[in-house]
């Protein structure tokens, strides 16, 4: 039987895939020996993002949930992610064709302008910039969709009651930042792609000790590792959606012993 939160878990998993692909796209340069081949190699996983998004739509259909305005918003957001990924893959393949046509000294796509190789590289680079913009918000959008989905289903009583895990505010914020694709590690220290707050190494290690985070090699310049949610991390983060955070457990101090008062003689 499919878990009630399976679509939300798949959304967060898709967000991690968007973050991985965005890392590779950010590193991709067309001044190497085989720019057309590099574009083709990145088009395939970008097409996979669209396929995975549409698979999530099918999974939502299988749950036969009430299509409230919030649920319709989730559908629209996931379909939009599929369209954006499809468009991004198309631009990558177009950029490849532009470079191949310039090398063959033929007009672009048969009836376009005849470009020099340098002009073709410039045109392909403009397509690459557009691709990065189209996929940049994928992790944020999947997190938003997953939270709206779970919150609405919880409000309607479609999900079993579950006590959210105990997280400190810093831990909870860190999990959300990882889900948004914002956390990497450089020189052994966590790096957060934000200016309003930071994540400490102690917070990162505390979540890793609970098995909620995993690290992967990161292709970005000057970054060593990308931090992702583990399967347990996705489930525990989802358990907090639509619920107030659980109070942080602290060690209770014993009450001070009452002071003895001197007896008064009558």
DSSP secondary structure, 63-84, as one string:
TT----HHHHHHHHHHHHHHHH
Has residue 206 been placed in a domain? yes
Domains in the chain, number: 2
Has residue 147 been placed in a domain? yes
The first and second tokens of residue 149, run together, are 């989905």
Output the pLDDT for position 164.
82
Comparing CA positions, the residue from 16, 5, 6 lying closest to residue 142 is: 16
Domain extent, residue 87, equals 1-158
Per-residue pLDDT 10s for the chain (266 aa) are 457 679 999 999 999 999 999 999 999 989 877 899 999 999 999 999 999 999 999 999 988 888 899 999 999 999 999 999 999 999 999 999 999 999 888 887 766 788 999 999 999 999 999 999 999 999 999 999 999 999 999 999 888 777 788 999 999 999 999 999 999 999 999 999 877 788 999 999 999 999 999 999 999 988 999 999 999 999 999 999 988 655 555 444 554 555 555 544 43
Has residue 254 been placed in a domain? no
Has residue 5 been placed in a domain? yes
Q: Do residues 125 and 38 both lie within one domain? A: yes
DSSP secondary structure, 170-187, as one string:
HHHHHHHHHHTT-EEEET
Q: Do residues 127 and 180 both lie within one domain? A: no
Output the pLDDT for position 263.
47
Q: Of 124, 158, 192, at which residue does a domain stop?
A: 158
Neighbours of 88 (CB within 10 A): 27
Has residue 266 been placed in a domain? no
Task: Give the span between the Cα atoms of 144 and 159, in whole angstroms.
Answer: 18
Output the pLDDT for position 247.
56
Q: Read off the CATH number of the domain in which 237 is found.
A: 1.10.10
Q: Mapping DSSP to helix (H, G, I), strand (E, B) and coil, where does residue 44 land? A: helix
Has residue 263 been placed in a domain? no
The first and second tokens of residue 71, run together, are 């649920």
Q: Do residues 143 and 219 both lie within one domain? A: no
Sign of the Cα pseudo-torsion (26, 131, 36, 47, in order): positive
Q: Tokens 């489930």 — which residue?
A: 235
Q: Of 137, 158, 179, at which residue does a domain stop?
A: 158
The residues facing 192 across adjacent strands are 183
Q: Spell out the residues 6+ positions from residue 248 whose beta carbon is closer than 8 angstroms to its own.
A: 166, 167, 168, 169
Q: Do residues 138 and 181 both lie within one domain? A: no
Q: Do residues 217 and 130 both lie within one domain? A: no
Task: Give the span between the Cα atoms of 174 and 125, in whole angstroms.
Answer: 34
Q: Do residues 128 and 26 both lie within one domain? A: yes
Has residue 227 been placed in a domain? yes
Q: Do residues 154 and 177 both lie within one domain? A: no
Q: Do residues 185 and 139 both lie within one domain? A: no
Supply φ then ψ for residue 72, to 5 degrees.
Answer: -65, -35
Q: Do residues 9 and 141 both lie within one domain? A: yes
Comparing CA positions, the residue from 201, 205, 181, 179 lying closest to residue 190 is: 201
Output the pLDDT for position 246.
54
Has residue 34 been placed in a domain? yes
Q: Of 140, 158, 176, at which residue does a domain stop?
A: 158
Output the pLDDT for position 252.
44
Q: Do residues 126 and 204 both lie within one domain? A: no
Q: Do residues 83 and 199 both lie within one domain? A: no
Q: Do residues 92 and 148 both lie within one domain? A: yes
Sign of the Cα pseudo-torsion (55, 12, 239, 243, in order): negative
Output the pLDDT for position 157.
87
Q: Which long-range contacts (CB under 8 A, 24 or more apart) does 169-175 make?
A: 169/245, 169/248, 170/199, 170/200, 170/203, 171/203, 171/206, 171/207, 172/240, 172/245, 173/197, 173/199, 174/199, 174/203, 174/204, 174/207, 175/207, 175/212, 175/213, 175/229, 175/233, 175/236, 175/237
């Amino acid at each position: 039987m499919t878990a009630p939160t399976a679509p939300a878990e798949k959304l967060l998993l898709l967000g991690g895939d968007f973050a991985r692909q965005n890392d590779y796209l950010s590193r991709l340069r067309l001044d190497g020996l085989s720019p057309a081949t590099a574009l083709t190699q990145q088009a395939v996983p970008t097409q996979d993002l669209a396929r995975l998004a549409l698979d999530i739509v099918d999974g939502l259909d299988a749950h036969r949930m009430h299509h409230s305005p919030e649920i319709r918003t989730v559908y629209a957001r996931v379909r939009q992610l599929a369209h954006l990924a499809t468009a991004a893959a198309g631009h990558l393949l177009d950029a490849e064709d532009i470079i191949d046509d310039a090398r063959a000294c033929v007009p672009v796509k048969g009836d376009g302008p005849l470009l020099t190789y340098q002009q073709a590289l410039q045109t392909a680079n403009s397509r690459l910039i557009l691709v990065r913009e189209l996929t940049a918000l994928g992790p944020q959008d999947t997190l938003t969709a997953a939270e709206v989905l779970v919150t609405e289903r919880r409000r309607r009583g479609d999900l079993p009651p579950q006590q959210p895990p105990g997280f400190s505010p810093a831990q909870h914020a860190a999990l959300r930042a990882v889900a948004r694709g914002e956390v990497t590690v450089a020189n052994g220290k966590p790096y957060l792609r934000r200016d309003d707050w930071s994540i400490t190494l102690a917070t990162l290690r505390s979540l890793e000790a609970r098995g909620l985070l995993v690290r992967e090699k990161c292709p970005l310049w000057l970054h060593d590792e990308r931090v992702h949610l583990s399967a347990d991390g996705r489930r525990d983060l989802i358990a907090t959606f639509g619920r107030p955070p659980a109070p942080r457990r602290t060690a209770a101090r014993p009450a001070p012993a009452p002071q003895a008062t001197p007896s008064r003689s009558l």
